[in-house]
Structure 1
Amino acid sequence: MASPDLLPANAPATLGNLQLLAKQVVEGFRSGLHKSPHKGFSVEFKEHRSYVPGDDPRTIDWKLYGKTDRLFIREHEQETNLRATLLVDSSGSMNYGGQRSHGLTKHDYAVRCAAALAHLMIRQQDGCGLVTFDTKVRRFIPPRVRPKHLTAILSELAKTKPGGETELGDVFHRLAAKLPRRGLLIVLSDLFGDVDRLLTSLAHLRHGGHEVVVFQILDPDEIDFPFDRRTRFRNLEDHDDHHTIDPAQVRRAYLEKLAAFRDALKKGCGRQRIGLVPLTTDRPFADALAAYLAARRRGR
């Protein structure tokens, strides 16, 4: 599916054009998906359970009440009233963008994905919230369903700029205390950091009853290390840290460490039943999201 670049390369993501992008991307990939018998981002059917005081009366199965004279809740309808939170990494490492990524940094790509997902979920009456973070949580917007809430999320995404260091494990541990209710957590990050601490913190979120999906966003340069001449590499989270090296001398070691990191991440997420979705910034993000949502609807 074609996905036009609705935002000029290197242009700031203003609220107006971010809204336009989110709307057009969602309408584009929704038209290519099979219709589901269930509404909402979460389409898993659970079962009936007994009604308890405090449950929403709209979820009562009145037909079953007529047959049994007992009140039951249709849990699949509760599941469709999803509470999702988008966790967008705004640390310095997300500010990288190579020549093959169409003028987008990893952070640009994450913002566009988050905007489209927020638009989709609120449009279908799922609650959506937003967390932006680097060394700490920058902004926390709790999940809501109201259309005006989408404007608040997009406005925050449009003005967020990457910068600062981060240790994802520490941030996610702190977030676990802020997210007491079960829901869907969607992480958009390059995931760079200590892999053991990261996996432990993601497990912490899972143990809180959350479903966790991680979109790992990488630039293609970070995957195949294409540099072929002496290059100055600068730490995007610490501008005083920079080195000029011959890439040929470090390429093999770099690629081996990257492969080990990605393998450990894949295995760790698998053990914790965490969805890991690799994305690269040279792939149109609308295509990537459409493929993921189609797979999700098929139950993969």
Structure 2
Amino acid sequence: MTASLAPEALQKIKRLDLRARMVVRGFLQGLHTSPLQGFSVQFSEHRRYNRGDDPKLIDWLVYAKTNKHYVKRYEAETNLTGYLVMDLSKSMGFSQRQSMNKFEYATCLAASLTYLMTMQKDPVGLLTFRDKLRAVLPARSRRGQLGDVMAALSSMTPDGTTELPASLTQVAAMLRQHSLVMLFSDLLGDPAEVLMALGRLRHGGHDVIVFHVMDEAEVHFPYDGPIEFEDPETGEVVTVDATGFRDEYLSGVKAFRETYREGCNRMRIDYVPLDTSMPFDKALTEYLQQRQARF
């Protein structure tokens, strides 16, 4: 993993398209020295050689690196329609340090996935929500779509409250074509209701990836002594003894994530827990490892 792909380093780059390009280049460079192949449904230009494949299609350069036989893919084998589904609620703007907040982290990751998919000539669209669906950018593979998605992502700011289950239900009702749905959210709310809404997407035949983005402080709780916490969406303020509360809090976070992990696994939904300190190439690689284990 490279230090240049850490959130702190990328935050110095203001343009989202340049951030995404750096993430993708670093990620693909890592794949070149790894036996891992493929991303999302298939983000690779290769697949494993199967009996009956034309030996002329074997990529011997890949064989030299991996000692395994891969054949070049045809575009029809990899084509899929993807939708980024972005949580715009105010809680996504939380950051304990002066670094990337959850929303900025999610946006950079979403931009990187857009870059990868357009490299594959796959249609990509964008959906955003707070209390309901807001902006809709239909999935297209035309020239200029990458710029349109980047511009839309760059213009968004997190604000207001969220109704995640209702918004996901709207997404399930709106999408007609079987798609790859990539959700970016801190998943605040009732997990049972959120999982039920995710189930509607799976029932509609969609492939679903849940990127659960939390702030580094939300995961590790680096606080001591009396401290006030304010709910960014309701404004409610609670004072706690952080030192005495730490073990209970960390246990709750672990249970919260595990509830989503188990629920998603039951529905064959990919669940990717992230925090804002994780380098982006690591975030993509960890997802890829899960994906390959499932397929």
Bin for the TM-score computed over the shorter chain:
0.7 to 0.9
Q: 2:31 aligns with which of 30, 33, 46?
A: 33
C-alpha deviation, 1:257, in angstroms: 2.8
How far apart, CA to CA, are the structure 1 residues paired with 2:127 and 2:209? 14
Change in 2 beyond 3 A, CA 1:20/1:144: same
Instruction: In structure 2, list runs of 5 or more residues that go unmatched.
Output: 48-73
TM-score by length of 1: 0.79
Give the SS at the match of 2:148.
helix
Q: 1:117 aligns with which of 92, 109, 113?
A: 113
The answer to whether the 8 A contact 2:257-2:273 is kept is no
C-alpha deviation, 1:204, in angstroms: 0.3
How far apart, CA to CA, are the structure 1 residues paired with 2:241 and 2:248? 13
Report the number of matched residues.
Answer: 262
Give the SS at the match of 1:147.
coil
How far apart, CA to CA, are the structure 1 residues paired with 2:40 and 2:246? 41
C-alpha deviation, 1:164, in angstroms: 1.0
User: Map of 1:185-264 to 2, 5 A cutoff?
Assistant: 185-239=181-235, 241-264=236-259
Q: Which residue of 1 aligns with 2:62?
A: none
Matched, 1:274 2:269: yes
How far apart, CA to CA, are the structure 2 residues paired with 1:294 and 1:28? 17
Change in 2 beyond 3 A, CA 1:79/1:188: farther
TM-score by length of 2: 0.80
Give the SS at the match of 1:138.
strand
Q: Which residue of 2 aligns with 1:84?
A: 82
Aligned AA for 2:10? L
Change in 2 beyond 3 A, CA 1:256/1:6: closer
Matched, 1:148 2:132: no
Q: 2:11 aligns with which of 7, 18, 21?
A: 7
Instruction: In structure 1, list runs of 5 or more residues that go unmatched.
Output: 46-75
The answer to whether the 8 A contact 1:87-1:187 is kept is yes
Matched, 1:284 2:279: yes
How far apart, CA to CA, are the structure 1 residues paired with 2:3 and 2:138? 30
C-alpha deviation, 1:121, in angstroms: 0.3
The answer to whether the 8 A contact 2:90-2:158 is kept is yes
How far apart, CA to CA, are the structure 2 residues paired with 1:194 and 1:93? 15
Matched, 1:43 2:42: yes
How far apart, CA to CA, are the structure 2 residues paired with 1:94 and 1:135? 14
Aligned AA for 1:132? T
The answer to whether the 8 A contact 2:38-2:288 is kept is no
Say which is worse superposed, 83-92 or 203-212, in terms of deviation. Answer: 83-92
RMSD (CA atoms) = 2.7
How far apart, CA to CA, are the structure 2 residues paired with 1:298 and 1:245? 41
C-alpha deviation, 1:232, in angstroms: 1.6
Change in 2 beyond 3 A, CA 1:243/1:87: same
C-alpha deviation, 1:297, in angstroms: 5.3
User: Which structure is larger by alpha-carbon Rg, 1 or 2?
Assistant: 1
C-alpha deviation, 1:264, in angstroms: 1.6
Q: Deviations over 1:25-81 (max 9, x none)?
A: 212211222499x98853398xxxxxxxxxxxxxxxxxxxxxxxxxxxxxx854511
Aligned AA for 1:213? I
Q: Which residue of 2 aligns with 1:55?
A: none
Aligned AA for 2:127? V
Change in 2 beyond 3 A, CA 1:3/1:86: farther
The answer to whether the 8 A contact 1:127-1:145 is kept is yes
User: Map of 1:45-124 to 2, 5 A cutoff?
Assistant: 78-99=76-97, 103-124=99-120
C-alpha deviation, 1:256, in angstroms: 3.3
Give the SS at the match of 1:277.
strand
% of aligned pairs identical?
38
How far apart, CA to CA, are the structure 1 residues paired with 2:218 and 2:96? 9
Structure 1 stretches (4+) deviating beyond 3 angstroms? 38-41, 76-79, 248-253, 293-300
How far apart, CA to CA, are the structure 2 residues paired with 1:83 and 1:40? 14
Q: 1:24 aligns with which of 22, 25, 47?
A: 22
